[in-house]
Amino acid sequence: MTFDTRRLLELLPAIYRLRDIERASHAPGVLSAAEAAELADLEADPGPLSPPQRRRLELLRLRRECGPLGALLWVLADEIAVLEENVAQLDDDLFVETAAPWVLPYIGDLIGYRPLHGKVTRVARRAEVAHTIAFRRRKGTASMLEQLARDVTDWNARAVEFFSLLATTQSMNHKRLANRAAPSMRDGDGLELIGSAFDAMPRSLDVRRIATGAGRYNVPNIGIFLWPIDAQRLRSSPATPDQSDPRRFRFSPLGNDTALYTRPQREDDISHLAEPINVPAPITRRRLFRHLDQYYGVDRSFAVAFDNVVQPLDRIDVCDLSGWKRDASPSRIAVDPVLGRLIVGAGLTLPGTVGVTFHYGGPSEMGAGEYERRATFALRDPIIRVPVDQPTIQAALQQLRGSGVVEIVDSGRYTDADPPGAIEIDVTANTMVELRAAEGRRPTLALTKPLTLRGGIASRVNLNGLLITGAAIDVPQAANGLRQVVVRHCTLVPGRSLNANGSPTAPGEPSVRVAIDDCALALDHSITGALRVRAGSRATLVDSIVDAGSETSLAYAAEGGSLPGGPLEIESTTFVGATRTVTLSASNTIFVGRVEVTRRQEGCLRFTYASVDSIVPRRYRCQPTEGIGAANVPQFASLHYGSPRYCRLVRSTPDAIRRGSEDESEMGAFRRRYEPQRHADVLTRLDEYLRVGLEAGIFYESDARRYGQ
C-alpha cells in the first residue's frame, strides 16, 4: 500500500505535491491522533528499530505528509490495490497449482475429474486434479498407480506387479536373468523382505482373487501397498538411562523399548517406485547396517547428540542389544533400531546429556506430538518460557502469579525433583492458566507426585501438548473453586508409566481425579488412563482414548469407583474398561467394557458400540442389537499403549463397526481419519486407471504382523 500511494503521488506534477505538503502543515491530514502518538514514539526511540518497525515508521511519515490531495489518493490507492490483487488472483486461477480452492471444481470439471468422498478433509484434491492428465497418459503403469494411491489417500504407497514375480519357464527370446525359480539363501537382504511390499522372491501361481486379499501372485494381479502408520518425529529429546548401567540408554522418553521408524524420503523421479527408505516402516538392523548413511543424521531418521553436539556418522555401530548382552566398542556408540536402545562406549567421555532425535510409529494429531497445534492455544500472553525465562515449570508458574501462559519451548524431560517440589498450578479467580508445549515440541513431565490444580472462583486450567508419566492430574476438594480443566493434545500414560518391556507399572490406576463439584473436565485429542470424576461435576470427551488397561477395569466413575461419575458427553472416543456414570450422551464411540448409567431417561447413544448387557439410555443405530448382530464386535490390532497400532481397528472388523459411524467412517477415536473412505476411494480410482484384464488388491503394511494384514 505504501508503494502504491507513493507511486500515485509521483505521477502528479511536483507543484501539486509541494502545495499538498504545504497544506498538510496547516490542516490535519490522513494521520489519526493514535497514529500521531505512535509516530512520535517511534521517532523518539533511541535504539535500532526492527524491520517491521522501520516499515511502520516509513508508512506513518508518508501519511503525515499527505494533505487533502494525498488523502484522496490514499483512498484511491486502497481500491487500486484491491483491483490489482483481484487481477493477480484471476491470473493465478488459470493454473491448478495456484488457483483458489473454489476454482478447483471448475478445473476438474473441464478435464472430467470425478470427486470422491468429501468427508476426507485431510487429503488435498489439488494434487489429484493436477495429476489427472498425466495419470491418463501413463494409464496402467506401476509408477502411475503408486502415485495415484498416494494422492488419493495421503499415505505412502507402493505398487507391485505380481506377474513379474512369477517363477515361470522363460522364453529364449525374452530372458529375465533376475527371475529365478528359487530364492538364494545367501541373499539376507532379500530374505528379510519376504512377505512385505518389497518382496522380490519368485513365487508359484496363486489362482485366488487378489481383490479379496486372499491371493497375490497371478498374471493379471497388481498390488497396492499402503502405510497408514505415520512416522512421528521427536527432536532433541533426552535419552532415558537404564538403571543397570549409566552408559545404557533408551530412545523413548518413557524408558520403554520402542522401534525406530524411517523418515520417508521424497521421490523426485516420476517413474521411481517406492523403496524402503521412502515409506514409514520400522528400521531393521540389517538395513540400517547396510545403509547407515541414509538413516543417520539430524534431518534423517535418527541422530544422537552429546551435550547438544550431534555425533559423527563414523562413530555409530549397529548392534543387537537384546538383553544388553553386548557392549559397544570403546570409542563407538552402539544403536539397536529394533529395540530403540543405545550404549556409549567405555572409551568415550560420558556427557552430561545424551539427546536423541528419532521417529516413532503412531497416529498423528492425537496424544501430543510435533504436529501443528497452534490453533488450539487458548491464550497469547503473558508468556513465561521454560527453560528460557525460568529453568523449571514450577518457577515459571510462580512468576506467572496465577494468570497467563507457561510455554515449554523444548522436548526436554521435566521432573518434580527440581525445586520447589511437585508441580502445582494455582489460578486466580476469573482467570486462566495454560501450561503448554510450544509448536513443534513434545516435552515429557516425569512426575512422582500428582500434578495438582487449584483455583479461585470461576478459574480455568488448560494443558496442551504434554506427555505426562508417573503421576495423575489431581483436582483436590479443599479450598478449590476451579471450574474448568481442559486437556488437549496430551498423553497421560495409561497405567501411570511403562516398564522397560512396555507394560504399565500401575494398570487401572486413574490418570485424572476431579474431587470437587461444579467442575467441567474436557478431553480433546488426548490419551489417558482411567478417569475419576465426582458426580457433581461433568466430563466431555472428543476424539480421545480412555484406557483402564482391561475390559473389566473401571475406566470412568466417581472417586473410589463405587459411585457413578458425573454426567458424561462423548464424541468419537474409544473407552477401554467399564463405565459408571450418572447420565450419558455418546456418538460414534466404542465402549470396550460394560456401561452402567443411573439416569437413563436423559441422554442417548448414537452410532455407538456398547455390549448388550450394558445399562444405557435409548439407542439409535448402535451395535450390537439384542439377538441380532452378536458377531458385530470391534477387533483391535493392539490394546497395548505404545504400539503404533494402539486402539486401531483391523480390516477384518465387521462393517457395522468399521463403517458404523454417522458419516460411514469407523466408530471410535480414529473416526476422523476416514480410513474406510480412503480405501473405497482407491478402489474407485483404480477402476478408472487399470488396464483391461488387470485386477488390483489393497494391502496395509503395519506392525500388527511383520508384513501387513
Q: Kindly state the percentage of the chain with pLDDT values over 70.
A: 93
pLDDT tens digits for range 653-685: 999 999 999 999 999 999 999 999 999 889 888
489: nearest Cα among 469, 522, 464: 464
The predicted structure's pLDDT at residue 122: 44
The predicted structure's pLDDT at residue 189: 84
3-class DSSP state of 258: coil
- Kindly tell me if the per-residue pLDDT of 419 is higher than 60: no
587: nearest Cα among 564, 616, 551, 553: 616
153: nearest Cα among 673, 645, 636: 673
pLDDT tens digits for range 74-103: 777 778 878 888 888 888 888 888 888 888
- Kindly tell me if the per-residue pLDDT of 290 is higher than 90: yes
pLDDT tens digits for range 31-78: 677 777 877 888 777 777 777 777 777 767 766 667 677 677 777 777
The predicted structure's pLDDT at residue 27: 59
- Ramachandran class of 204: left when φ > 0, alpha when ψ lies in -120 to 50, beta otherwise: beta
The grid coordinates of residue 491 equal: 498423553
Q: Which of 11-25, 144-158, 445-459 has the lowest mean pLDDT?
A: 11-25
* Separation CA 81–CA 4 (nearest Å): 7
Q: Tell me the DSSP string of 487-519.
A: EES-EE-TTSSB-TTS-BSSTT-EEEEE-SSS-
pLDDT tens digits for range 493-507: 999 999 999 999 999
Q: How confident is the model at residue 360 (pLDDT cuts 50, 70, 90)?
A: very high
What pTM, to 2 d.p., does this model score?
Answer: 0.84
3-class DSSP state of 582: coil
Q: How confident is the model at residue 13 (pLDDT cuts 50, 70, 90)?
A: confident
pLDDT tens digits for range 103-158: 888 888 888 777 776 555 444 577 778 888 888 888 888 999 999 899 888 899 99
Average pLDDT score over residue span 195-222: 88
The predicted structure's pLDDT at residue 119: 53
Report helix angle 33-44 to 51-64, nearest 10. 130
The predicted structure's pLDDT at residue 707: 35
Average pLDDT of the residues of the chain: 87
* Separation CA 675–CA 281 (nearest Å): 19
- Kindly tell me if the per-residue pLDDT of 355 is higher than 50: yes
Q: Tell me the DSSP string of 181-201.
A: SS--TT-HHHHHTTTSTT---
The predicted structure's pLDDT at residue 116: 73
Q: How confident is the model at residue 184 (pLDDT cuts 50, 70, 90)?
A: confident
The predicted structure's pLDDT at residue 705: 43
Q: Which of 11-20, 186-195, 373-382 has the lowest mean pLDDT?
A: 11-20
* Separation CA 443–CA 627 (nearest Å): 49
pLDDT tens digits for range 524-555: 999 999 999 999 999 999 999 999 999 999 99
